[in-house]
Amino acid sequence: MTPGPASDDLFGDPVSTGSGEGRGTPGPSGTPDDTVPLAERMRPRSLDEVLGQEHLLGPQAPLRQAIERGQPPSMILWGSPGCGKTTLARLAADTGALAFATLSAVLAGVKDVRAVVDQARVRRSGSGQGTLLFIDEIHRFNKAQQDALLPHIEDGTIRFIGATTENPSFALNNALLSRLRVYRLQPVGAGAIAALLRAALQDRERGLGGRGLRLADEWIERLAAAADGDARRALNWLETAADLADGGEISAEALRAVMGAQALQFDRQGDAFYDQVSALHKSVRGSDPDGAAYWLVRMLDAGCDPDYLGRRLLRMAWEDIGLAAVGIAGRVLAAWETVERLGRPEADLALVQVAIELACAPKSNSAYAALGAVRAAIADTGSLPVPLHLRNAPTALMKEQGFGAGYRYDHDEPDGFARGQTYLPEEILERSFYRPGEQGTERILADRLRALGRGQPPEPDAGEGRS
């Protein structure tokens, strides 16, 4: 999908008529208006021109049908930068002949929302035209600002579309979410972006077609891949490189200069961050060294704090490898310390190496499950008293009270084990928490427990939540 600017100016184009005029239209001579950015000029003018969102805008998709009927629902458009959220909102207004009012949540507040609502009431009572209010980066509105939208959405004064790059479940309050539909837009595929770049190079009315520029297919593909799902970014790169070109071929040097270091999708607090952390953790858990190395390097090269990644890898060592490879946590600590002592990029190798080792290691979450099971038992039974035979008796009075009575010192027993002695409160004596696995070194622990007559414990009663 051809995107527009990162966010519309608060007062630059507050209300349009819904006709689509003035957005990247050619000048009087029929040539493109070069004062309008290429990404804006190439913005789709109809739903058929939208690329990459077939799941929402295919011929039978409910959202497309609602827009084509001129009845777009109030909604949240959730997706990464440059995937077409602003474009889709504008097309919904154009198709429904609605006045298009736009605000940026970075700059706007309740006062600005009320001004748009007042204009919408006047417009509806005068010409009968409806109004679609589009708020970019809606997740930046606080609860009070979000609540200010509710009555006007409910009574139909405005149709509302909010755009966000953040997960609406966490970024928006429930009162607003309950009144809106949420649509997830996908990052634009590299193939669609490549087709868009070719169209921009050839289009004389809106693109660069009148300048006789050429760009090798190899570089079109490289631009499309490096854009990382952001069509606007690719068009901006192309436009800047075209401005540097002295007619004819757009040089590789110009493209390298404008692209710089590729900015991978990564947000230190947003969805991309937690999705990639999850992918790294699950690759380790799933014994996939390739996946573990890939996601770790993706995050490192996108700017993730290597200290944070060291902490995450240490968590994985205790949670997912656990007793199956005793000692591996120490090697993770050594790799983490290498980050502090050596720094990047040299320390990247230590992190990648230990991530691969974690992925290849045998796995056991038995201790993790036991932790959850013990906590569940404590929640069920409260503060049960320590059995008398397990209590210390440093005073005569305590001995008289039976403290320590009947306790058998294991080192004095045959095989160093007091068979039959129990260590849990009587109320939960039959409960079992630790179930040893059969992977790696934990098999040795399982064999020892069976040899001591403890056998194979039953399944734990509960475990902590999985991530």
Of the candidates 440, 424, 420, the residue with the CA atom closest to the CA atom of residue 432: 424
Please give the class, per CATH, of domain 15-184. Answer: alpha beta
CATH 3.40.50.800 matches 271-360: no
190-259 and 271-360: identical CATH topology: no
> What is the domain partition of the chain in residue ranges?
15-184, 190-259, 271-360
Closest CA to 464 of 368, 378, 379, 381: 368
pLDDT tens, N- to C-terminus, the chain (467 residues): 333 333 333 333 445 544 444 445 555 455 667 788 999 999 999 998 888 898 999 988 999 999 999 999 999 999 888 889 999 999 999 999 999 999 999 999 999 999 999 999 999 999 999 999 999 999 999 999 999 999 999 999 999 999 998 888 888 999 999 999 999 998 888 889 999 999 999 999 999 988 888 888 888 988 888 887 889 989 999 998 888 876 688 888 888 888 775 544 555 555 677 788 899 999 999 999 999 999 999 888 877 888 889 999 999 999 999 999 989 999 999 999 998 888 888 889 999 999 999 999 999 999 999 999 999 999 888 888 889 888 888 888 888 888 889 898 889 888 888 888 888 898 888 888 888 888 888 888 888 888 887 755 444 444 444 55
Nearest one of 122, 126, 85 to 102, comparing CA atoms? 85
- CA nearest neighbour of 403 among 417, 393, 413, 416: 393
Q: Taking the domain 190-259, which CATH number applies?
A: 1.10.8.60
